[in-house]
Structure 1
Amino acid sequence: MSGSLKLTTHEHMLRDSVITALNSSLSFPQVLEATRAPLLELAPSDSLALCLMRTTPVLDFQWLVPGYSIPLLEQYASVSDHDFVRAPIFAQPNVVLRDDEMLPRKEYEHSLLYQRSRELGLGLDHVMAVLLPIRPDFLGAFALYRTRRRSYSSRCAAVLSSITAHLVNAVRNCSDVQAMTTGAHLLEELHSGSDTAYLVVEPSARLVKRSRHATVLLERWFAPSDRHSSGLPLPLKERLDALVRMDADARLDKNVWVSLQADGYRTVRFIELPASEGPRQWALLMNEIPMSIPLPVDMRSKLTAREAEVAMYMLRNWNHEQIADELVIAVGTVDTHVRHIRDKLGIDSRADLLYQAARLNKPV
């Protein structure tokens, strides 16, 4: 959370409630319903909505609206070409924008979206939105609405910004188990894949379940001396223990474990399962990635030529100094390219870049 944002005790409690709600389920509707009340109080609004967008093979939209319906969004297909929100947030992913930063008020009130909302009996007088890059072919747009003439303040935008990374994480987790509503269904789906490797662990180290391929990988990756008495390898136990101790903000970019080996990478993604599944458990998704993993076409299409070069070297595990030397540019310039890569691809870290690239090359 940004250190410049000073929250009251009540706002801290609401923010914690929002983050807990975002991790309460692996179902989009359930997550949004749980999040609705605390978020509408934290960033005072009348309604919220999440638009899921797939960019291939064609741009496709799905609106999810918890609580009361928003008639305009039910007719969105007929007005989507006039959506003034889309272009500004696409130009600045992960940045919260208020309507007065998108277009002048006079143009806002003359827009087809605003006029249609009034015709439908729910004038959406103000909007605040952010684009959530999840994967190169999958995006989310999250919006808050007010039905009265009360502009969103910069502080409201900062409050929403403070949970944006948690929104991305929640959408990513739900999308990984799309069309399923519980952690149990997730595991059934994983179990149906003969080459899928997963563990289900109950902190601190009790193994609840594992797939057949996970057993193969565990034996290949770890020596008997690396095992905890529970059977869970010590490096994975240490990461899980650390994640359990961390607060929600600290966990965000630590949920993928990566080990570089001579023949490639070994990755494990940690997903906390919903509390409704019983004692809070974690699913650990295991994958092997060859050293020569290419930059997927879907990722390359989102980047400039130079950013694609930098991303390619990141996938080879080069550090920023090595990349700078190879491309004959300053390390600071590499840092800037890496920030742009993260924003455009919706990744949290180098490990997440590796994980998402592997997923696109060969879905995990």
Structure 2
Amino acid sequence: MNRTADGIKDRALLALNSTLLLPQALEAVRAPFLELVQADAMALCLMHVAPKADFRWFVPGHPLRILDEYASLIDHDFLRAPIFARPNVPVRDTQLLTRGEYERTLIYQRSRELDPCLEHIMAMLLPIRPGLVAALALYRNRQRAFTTHNSAVLSNFAPHLVNAVRNCGDFQTLMTGASLLDELYRRTDSAFLIVESSFEEALRSDSAVALLDKWFARSDLHSSGLPIVLKERLDALIRMDADARLGKSQWVFNHDDGNRTCRFVELPTADGPRRWALLLNETPHSIPLPAEMKSKLTPQQVTIATYMLRNWTNEQIASEIGRTHLTVKTHVRNIFDRLGIDSRADLIYQAARLNKPV
């Protein structure tokens, strides 16, 4: 990529990260991104693939009226299957169809009627998180096909789009109509720190205080108050450019009780020092054993039931507690009898139901 292209990419990255609201981020990045990939228009389709498929189009700039009819055209979308078959790989219309075949597609014919005419299309599937994907579509209104170079540029920029969509989605979920920090502060299931690039802490939620006290000893803390391991990761991220940061914005520690994670998100700001949000979360390895079940079991059975909820085998449990396989098997049968269940699957289902009643 030459210096001119590098400059355009830098402008696109700055625009993409200028806000944590997806429509505004796409509008901000539209001009430099279209210049970078040499396209006339773009659209992003967010699709939930589970529990049922649905989609929503985001179209920065001038509307593309054909996308208002996408629900009736989806079965005629010749790019859909190829991009789902090869996520993270750009697919061009010219790779799939001859010009004559393309002009006979309903997508092309309907675009001519609605204007603008979509003379060429390049698309790519971006996995965002389990159950959620984004389809990025780029269009040319002239008969000049997308090239392998355009595909390479898109592939290079795509991880930044994925990261931006994830960040926007996470924050949009937390906002729920309130200001970001106010909403985060009130939630009991969220923990966060807001830190300036000088490592001066601007805000810490009550839940973060409890979580960090649980995770780290005083000897683990830097003089700034941040845990040393998190400060070192943040310090490294600040020194990196956008490309280098990809894949390094999450710290994960696998503890006996569960996975401890910290996501680092650079917050947009109009002026002043850049701030970072450190989003903390602890995910247990297994479903907790409900108090109602514990009350019906002996201490030894509670231990074994807890391991069963981690999906451990009888052999693994026996090795962990220093008992024979036959002893554990007997305990498992007695646990089933005391709880009135007939299988491990039933134990998991009943524990999940009691932890979060339907």
Q: TM-score, normalised by structure 1?
A: 0.75
| SS of residue matched to 2:212 | helix
1:226 matched to 2:235? no
Contact 2:174–2:184 (Cα < 8 Å) also in 1 = no
1:112 matched to 2:102? no
Contact 1:26–1:180 (Cα < 8 Å) also in 2 = no
Deviations 1:289-327 (A, max 9, x none): 23458xxxxxxxxxxxxxxxxxxxxx99xxxxxxxxxxx
| Deviation of the 1:25 alpha carbon | 1.1
| Deviation of the 1:181 alpha carbon | 8.0
Question: Which amino acid letter does the alignment assign opposite residue 103 of structure 2?
Answer: E
| Deviation of the 1:242 alpha carbon | 0.5
Larger Rg: 2
| Deviation of the 1:167 alpha carbon | 0.9
- Tell me how far apart the structure 2 counterparts of residues 120 and 278 of structure 1 sit (CA, whole Å): 46
1:78 matched to 2:72? yes
TM alignment of 1:186-335, pairs within 5 A: 186-276=180-270, 279-292=273-286
1:50 matched to 2:50? no
- Tell me how far apart the structure 1 counterparts of residues 261 and 194 of structure 2 sit (CA, whole Å): 16
Distance 1:133 1:247, change over 3 A: same
- Tell me how far apart the structure 2 counterparts of residues 107 and 43 of structure 1 sit (CA, whole Å): 25
Distance 1:181 1:219, change over 3 A: closer
- Tell me how far apart the structure 2 counterparts of residues 255 and 285 of structure 1 sit (CA, whole Å): 11
Pick one of 167, 174, 179 that aligns with 1:185: 179
- Tell me how far apart the structure 1 counterparts of residues 174 and 216 of structure 2 sit (CA, whole Å): 32
TM alignment of 1:53-132, pairs within 5 A: 53-132=47-126
Give 2:27's aligned residue. Answer: 33
Distance 1:180 1:116, change over 3 A: farther
- Tell me how far apart the structure 1 counterparts of residues 272 and 179 of structure 2 sit (CA, whole Å): 14
- Tell me how far apart the structure 1 counterparts of residues 109 and 208 of structure 2 sit (CA, whole Å): 55
| SS of residue matched to 2:270 | helix
Give 1:307's aligned residue. Answer: none
Distance 1:179 1:257, change over 3 A: closer
| Deviation of the 1:283 alpha carbon | 0.9
| Deviation of the 1:186 alpha carbon | 2.6
- Tell me how far apart the structure 2 counterparts of residues 169 and 55 of structure 1 sit (CA, whole Å): 19
- Tell me how far apart the structure 2 counterparts of residues 17 and 230 of structure 1 sit (CA, whole Å): 33
Instruction: Give the length in aligned residue pairs.
Output: 290
| Deviation of the 1:258 alpha carbon | 1.3
1:19 matched to 2:13? yes
State the identity as a percent.
56
Give 2:141's aligned residue. Answer: 147
Give 1:175's aligned residue. Answer: 169
| Deviation of the 1:22 alpha carbon | 1.8
Contact 1:204–1:241 (Cα < 8 Å) also in 2 = no
- Tell me how far apart the structure 2 counterparts of residues 170 and 230 of structure 1 sit (CA, whole Å): 29
| Deviation of the 1:217 alpha carbon | 1.0
Contact 1:45–1:145 (Cα < 8 Å) also in 2 = yes
Question: Which amino acid letter does the alignment assign opposite residue 271 of structure 1?
Answer: V
| Deviation of the 1:100 alpha carbon | 1.1
| SS of residue matched to 2:112 | helix
- Tell me how far apart the structure 2 counterparts of residues 243 and 60 of structure 1 sit (CA, whole Å): 35
- Tell me how far apart the structure 2 counterparts of residues 154 and 234 of structure 1 sit (CA, whole Å): 45
Contact 2:44–2:134 (Cα < 8 Å) also in 1 = yes
- Tell me how far apart the structure 2 counterparts of residues 32 and 189 of structure 1 sit (CA, whole Å): 24
Contact 1:128–1:152 (Cα < 8 Å) also in 2 = yes
Contact 1:27–1:181 (Cα < 8 Å) also in 2 = no
Contact 1:26–1:181 (Cα < 8 Å) also in 2 = no
| Deviation of the 1:278 alpha carbon | 5.2
Q: TM-score, normalised by structure 2?
A: 0.76
Give 1:165's aligned residue. Answer: 159
| SS of residue matched to 1:162 | helix
CA RMSD of the aligned region, Å?
Answer: 2.3
Give 2:339's aligned residue. Answer: none
| SS of residue matched to 1:69 | coil
| Deviation of the 1:57 alpha carbon | 3.1
| Deviation of the 1:135 alpha carbon | 1.3
